[in-house]
Amino acid sequence: MRCLLVGLATATAAWQAAPTSRRFAAKGATSASAIAMTSSEDVIPADGHTRRAVLQQVTGVATAGALAASLPSYPAAAEVPTWEVVSLPIVSETPPILFDIEFDTKNPKLGWIVGNRGTFLQTADGGKTWEAKSFANLDPDEEINYRFTKVSFLDGEGWIIGKPAILLHTRDGGASWERVPLSPKLPGDPYGIVALGPGKAEMSTSAGAIYVTDNAGRNWKAQVRETIDATLNRVSSSGVQGASYFSGSINSIQRDADGSYLAVSSRGNFYLTYKPGEEFWIPHNRETSRRITSMGSIKDRMTDGLWMTTAGGEISKTPAGAVDTQLINIPFEKLQIRSGGYGLLDVAFLPDGKTAWAVGGGGTIFGSKNGGESWEKDKAADDLPSNLYKVKFFPDGTGYVLGSSGVLLRNKAA
């Protein structure tokens, strides 16, 4: 059944940012970290052993040792974990949640990590080592209250967004940053930002608004003409379940290579898609009674396939073939995964069409070698007190997992 959407309500087409801006340099912060190592002791019980028994044990050990010495020795085979923990210069007593990681297309060795509590880290060696950064013109007491959620770079030009509402912009590879004023009339909080070229970027908000700037944020043009609330009011009788419970915000907003968007309602009871040139978001039913946790594209484009995770650690994806985003009920097929009930918060399918990774609560990591048809648990983060929120791979094949407690994992096979 196709969604018949008629009638349009016009939302604000553009808003203009305040003419003033603040420009400031990023400054480094150094810190030392210590790794505590524990050792175990072998305890040999002595009580209850006779002198004869002890001599027999010693003789047996000596004989075994002589036999072992006469045999050729081989190096012990060690199982190399797929992911390794990356040490970060976190000095706070309360480790932050890491939300996003990005590398510059112009200089892939240069990268950034953002998180809550004002976390802003930079690497100059491709992610092997990281240095804490801060903004010179932000008061430290103020900066720690910011929750930096997204970072995007293209050819030396970058953008960062966060909460309370803040937008930062750099033209010189992060050497200096300009704070771009945001209109108080902006619907919702900034949720996503994508660098598109010199002075050009696209920003999405938690209310489903999408804006584009081509003059470094001085002016923004709205792409969606109708609010999600207005759309749902029109289509509430068309079979979209949960529309009447819409709380006014969306999350898990993803943008594909064509500029199309995928988002989940904050309650997880339905999801929406948007294509460039359309006037409104199109709502879709979920095919399960479980609430949606997260969604994304299997490849670079939404039409090439979608994945969905739901409460209880379930995961599904669309059947092979093109996805028709005009359908209210897009079909999904449940995949086989034994998650133990841990919620899966993010999934990444690699370009080879076979390898995939899923991460979630309780340090959960699952890997697939057959396009997601079956999954195996990876124990790399089993002993880490962290929920894992994001898994992201870059063109050179390097992958990262970000989580709470300042946890960063790097794919060792990359």
What confidence tier does 58 reach under pLDDT thresholds 50, 70, 90? very low
In CATH terms, the fold of domain 80-223 is Methylamine Dehydrogenase; Chain H (2.130.10)
Cα gap 251→191, rounded to integer Å: 8
Average pLDDT over residues 117-141: 89
Q: What six digits make up the tokens of 82? A: 């797929």
From 8-12, 273-277, 396-400, the region with the lowest mean pLDDT:
8-12
- DSSP helix, strand, coil percent of the chain (3-state; round to 5): 10, 35, 55
pTM above 0.85, yes or no: no
Average pLDDT over residues 280-296: 93
* CB contact at 8 A, 1 and 329: yes
| E strands, 164-285, in order | 166-170, 176-179, 190-197, 200-205, 210-213, 219-222, 250-255, 261-265, 270-274, 282-285
51, containing H or E segment? helix 51-70
Question: Please, what is the end-to-end C-alpha distance for the chain in angstroms?
Answer: 44
Cα gap 276→285, rounded to integer Å: 21
For residue 23, is pLDDT > 80? Answer: no
From 11-20, 197-206, 214-223, 281-290, the region with the lowest mean pLDDT:
11-20
What confidence tier does 29 reach under pLDDT thresholds 50, 70, 90? very low
Average pLDDT over residues 127-144: 84
- At residue 402, the pLDDT reads 98
* CB contact at 8 A, 319 and 307: no
* Tens-place pLDDT, residues 249-273: 998 899 999 999 999 999 999 999 9
What confidence tier does 137 reach under pLDDT thresholds 50, 70, 90? low
pLDDT over 90 percentage in the chain = 67
Using only C-alpha atoms, the chain has a radius of gyration, in whole angstroms, of 26
* CB contact at 8 A, 68 and 398: no
pLDDT over 70 percentage in the chain = 78
* Tens-place pLDDT, residues 367-381: 999 999 999 999 999
Domain borders along the chain are 80-223
